[in-house]
Amino acid sequence: MSTTAAAPATAGHDAGHAHPELSFLRKWVFSTDHKVIGIQYLFSCIAMFLVGGLLALMVRWQVAYPAGAKPSEEKVQEWRDQGLSGAALNQAIAEFDEDKPFPILGELLWGEKLSKADINAGEVGEAGLFGNSNGMMPNEWYNVAFTMHASVMIFLVIIPILTGAFGNYVIPLQLGAKDMAFPFLNGLSYWTWFSALLVLVASFFVDPAGIGAGAGWTSYPPLSGVVSPSAGAGQTLWCIGVILGGTSSIMGSMNYITTIVNLRAPGLTLFRMPLTTWAAFITSILQLFATPVLSSAMAMLLFDRHMGTSFFLPEGLIFSEAPVPNAGGGQVILWQHIFWFYSHPAVYIMILPAMGIVSDVIAVWSRKPIFGYRPMVFSMSAIAGLGFVVWGHHMFQSGMNPVLGTTFMISTIMIALPSAVKVFNWLGTLWGGQITFSPPLLFALGFVSMFVIGGLSGIYMANAPFDIFIHDTYFIVAHIHYVLFTGSVMGIFAGIYHWYPKMFGRHMSDGLGKIHFWLTFSFMNGVFFPMHIIGLGGYPRRYASFRSYDFLQTYEGMNVFMTWCAIGLGLSQLFFLWNFLWSLVAGKKPTSDNPWHACSLEWSTQTPPPHGNWIGAVPTAYHGPYEYSHPNCKDEFAPQWMPMQRNDGGGGGASPTAPAVAASSAPPTAPH
């Protein structure tokens, strides 16, 4: 196939061209170097991962320990046995107080915790940052907590870390490009995203009542479409933040598509690209088509809220006994169609890049070519294509025409196929390999094994009749977390451990990485697996308290268990954080530019790569990216950037041991 233009002239990256020394600000802050931008995304996303995680813990705490626990019958009997009766017993019951504010933060945010006796005596505690509710999270803030947990994790962590951090850092290197096609647009994309981050964080603090955006990350109108106590100024900022995030995504995806189409190294045909880059390519196409729809939806919602339009507000809407003046002629369900037209593909935007990363990691660490490379590419394309025609499965119970429900059920069930094909191909890649259980591989295997659960639980919900029962229960919460946490986040960790030496010129600690993996793997199942079970019991999602329902009482113990697992999961990430930060300054330096003995082009350059990625000309790709353990190859692996050295002496070219890397037939050993 055609070779693309060699060493394309991007932003003056001609070989040997001397750059004037850039100021610190231009080099590290407002940079146009894809590697710097990728690392900016990486650090920002890890910081936001902590914020999103903290919000998750607040959500979990509220679910396990909502206010208003009543003394159990056994407790009352105990009091009776102690001789309490009449007024004394009633007083004991009235003063019973097991409310547990969120540790440390609860009292800072929602005021001092006083005992019931003190409150009854008329004492008033000190107010917190968000008012005074005796240290306990009010219901409306619970809505904010889960809304912002989802929004932060989706728009500020998973999408930007996969497309922004890995996309930016890895794609040009795997392509043999000196930078992105549009370096300035790339920087602009990051800073637009960063402004989305600031706006979304500000949404917590703008409303005088202390309420941020609380209509759920799906923000269904009319709840989100009318200014009300449930959706105040925070909701407005949320819409603006999502538009900004979307704008950044659109800029980024155009850039990736152009780069992949135009800037591939000589010899690097599309079907010689590593799957990480293929996944980024397909994801970018999804983003480019889907994101503008979300941005328009957000703009329409803003107009409904503040400019008197009624895209989503039907006639006769009454909020708190008062008619909504601009309501009339709108369609509530229209929002859901538009929103899910973006947000279902968004799920694939969040999983496909992780699939790409995991494919590369498994191939490298089991010393095998990807089993079924082309079927892998085609199945990703099928997932992306089908991803555009399944959005209605979020709306089975919405009142949408039930005939459409049948159609969406079939298309949704079909999307399980390419996902299954991918899993089988990963197993095929492990088959007959030389598997080294390094942290990247452990996380990749974690991804595969847990993605199976997330995929299979999807079949339950794709089945429209059974979805009637589990729709909007904890079952869907379990499903989405198996896909996005035990799936995408595992993939992200695999990628970080895998490319860290290339990014920072240091190794992360293997031991800490393994501890991080096993703790994360255990706790995440402790958090998310029981959610399937309470979902099957009919436990509705987004409930601030189970106390009003008899049928939910039984799940209290499981909720407490999940909450403590979530706390364990949160603490386990400290091992990662320490490992990540400490290794930046104290990690062992790699002895070679290709420490994992990998074949794709990013390992052909210096560690870390210089500005412009390669000193001199970009490499040439001679074959596919997964030539591990080839029977006719003299060496254990054949890097893409040099012709394969054949056993029979054919093939020509230099040995992979020279000049860039030191390869040997021994499998790579992970440093410690």
Partner 1 sequence: MQQVRAEHFDAAWKWWLPPNHSSFGEEIDLMYIWIFWITMVTFVVVEGVMVYFCFKYRRNPARKATYIAGSHKLEVAWTVIPAIILVALGVASTNTWAKIKNSSDPSYPQEFQTEVKIAAQQFAWNVTYPGTDRKFDTADDFMLPNILNVPVELKDGAGNVTSEENVRIMLSSKDVIHSLFIPVLRVKQDAVPGYIGNVWFDCDRATYAGPDGKHLTGDQTYSEDGKTLLDWEEAYEIACAELCGLGHSGMRMQLKVVPRAAWEAWVKVKSDEAKKRAEGG
* Residues in 437-456 that interact with partner 1 by CB under 8 A: 437, 445, 448-449, 452-453, 456
Residue located via tokens 């107010």: 127
Binding residue for partner 1, selected from 266, 428, 570, 651, defined by CB under 8 A = 428
In terms of Cβ atoms closer than 10 Å to its own Cβ (0-12, 13-18, 19+), residue 95 is middle
Q: Work out how close the CB of 194 gets to partner 1 at its nearest, in angstroms, rounded to a whole number.
A: 29
Q: Which of residues 228 and 262 has its CB atom nearest to partner 1 in the complex? A: 228
Per-residue x/- marks for partner 1, 136-155, CB under 8 A? --xxx--x------------
Q: Does 643 bind partner 1 (CB under 8 A)?
A: no
Report residue 289 as tokens.
Answer: 């088509």
Q: Does 435 bind partner 1 (CB under 8 A)?
A: yes
Contacting partner 1 within 567-626 (CB under 8 A): 626
**CA distance readout (Å), 67 to 63, 70, 87, 125, 145:** 10, 9, 24, 17, 16
Q: Which of residues 56 and 453 has its CB atom nearest to partner 1 in the complex? A: 453
Q: Does 60 bind partner 1 (CB under 8 A)?
A: no
Which amino acid makes up residue 191? Answer: W
Report residue 53 as tokens.
Answer: 């995680």
Angstrom distance (rounded) from CA 609 to CA 11: 17
Q: Does 209 bind partner 1 (CB under 8 A)?
A: no
Size of the residue set binding partner 1 (CB under 8 A): 104
Encode 1-25 in three state secondary structure: CCCCCCCCCCCCCCCCCCCCCCCHH
Binding residue for partner 1, selected from 21, 81, 550, 648, defined by CB under 8 A = 550
Angstrom distance (rounded) from CA 601 to CA 660: 11
Encode 260-277 in three state secondary structure: HHHCCCCCCCHHHCCHHH
Q: Does 529 bind partner 1 (CB under 8 A)?
A: no
Say if CB 352 and CB 419 are below 8 A apart: no
Q: Work out how close the CB of 183 gets to partner 1 at its nearest, in angstroms, rounded to a whole number.
A: 36
Q: Which of residues 64 and 161 has its CB atom nearest to partner 1 in the complex? A: 64
Binding residue for partner 1, selected from 236, 277, 287, 457, defined by CB under 8 A = 457
Which stretch of DSSP H or E encloses residue 332? helix 332-366
Per-residue x/- marks for partner 1, 294-313, CB under 8 A? --------------------
Q: Does 332 bind partner 1 (CB under 8 A)?
A: yes
Q: Does 208 bind partner 1 (CB under 8 A)?
A: no
**CA distance readout (Å), 353 to 21, 117, 162:** 35, 56, 6
Q: Which of residues 187 and 387 has its CB atom nearest to partner 1 in the complex? A: 387
Q: Which of residues 416 and 515 has its CB atom nearest to partner 1 in the complex? A: 416
Question: Of 88-96, 133-141, 191-199, 596-604, which segment contacts partner 1 by CB under 8 A?
Answer: 133-141
Contacting partner 1 within 365-384 (CB under 8 A): 366-375
Q: Work out how close the CB of 48 gets to partner 1 at its nearest, in angstroms, rounded to a whole number.
A: 23
Say if CB 304 and CB 312 are below 8 A apart: yes
Q: Which residues pair with 128 in a beta bridge?
A: 131
Q: Does 647 bind partner 1 (CB under 8 A)?
A: no
Per-residue x/- marks for partner 1, 383-422, CB under 8 A? --------------xxx--xx-xx--xx--xx-xx--xx-
Closest CA to 472 of 390, 393, 378: 393
Q: Does 72 bind partner 1 (CB under 8 A)?
A: no
Angstrom distance (rounded) from CA 166 to CA 492: 9
Q: Work out how close the CB of 437 gets to partner 1 at its nearest, in angstroms, rounded to a whole number.
A: 7
Binding residue for partner 1, selected from 427, 574, 654, 658, defined by CB under 8 A = 427
Contacting partner 1 within 222-241 (CB under 8 A): 222-223, 228-230
Q: Which of residues 151 and 425 has its CB atom nearest to partner 1 in the complex? A: 425
Binding residue for partner 1, selected from 454, 625, 639, 667, defined by CB under 8 A = 667
Q: Work out how close the CB of 527 gets to partner 1 at its nearest, in angstroms, rounded to a whole number.
A: 18
Angstrom distance (rounded) from CA 438 to CA 494: 10
Q: Does 314 bind partner 1 (CB under 8 A)?
A: yes
Q: Does 648 bind partner 1 (CB under 8 A)?
A: no
Q: Which of residues 39 and 63 has its CB atom nearest to partner 1 in the complex? A: 63
Peptide bond before residue 590 is cis, with ω within 30 degrees of 0? no
Q: Which of residues 444 and 569 has its CB atom nearest to partner 1 in the complex? A: 444
Classify strands 322-323 and 318-319 as parallel, antiparallel or unpaired.
antiparallel
Q: Work out how close the CB of 432 gets to partner 1 at its nearest, in angstroms, rounded to a whole number.
A: 3
Q: Which of residues 12 and 432 has its CB atom nearest to partner 1 in the complex? A: 432
163-175 in b/e form (b: 16+ CB < 10 A) is: bbbbbbbbbbbbb
Angstrom distance (rounded) from CA 635 to CA 655: 8
Q: Work out how close the CB of 514 gets to partner 1 at its nearest, in angstroms, rounded to a whole number.
A: 14
Q: Does 271 bind partner 1 (CB under 8 A)?
A: no
Q: Which of residues 13 and 367 has its CB atom nearest to partner 1 in the complex? A: 367
**CA distance readout (Å), 321 to 107, 306, 318, 418:** 34, 20, 6, 50
**CA distance readout (Å), 657 to 265, 515, 638, 648:** 21, 33, 10, 18
Binding residue for partner 1, selected from 87, 104, 307, 318, defined by CB under 8 A = 318
Q: Which of residues 14 and 472 has its CB atom nearest to partner 1 in the complex? A: 472
Q: Which residues pair with 228 in a beta bridge?
A: 231
Q: Which residues pair with 90 in a beta bridge?
A: none
Q: Work out how close the CB of 412 gets to partner 1 at its nearest, in angstroms, rounded to a whole number.
A: 9
Closest CA to 641 of 174, 271, 181: 174
User: Taking each helix axis from N to C terminus, what angle separates 332-366 and 490-504, rounded to the nearest 10 degrees?
Assistant: 60
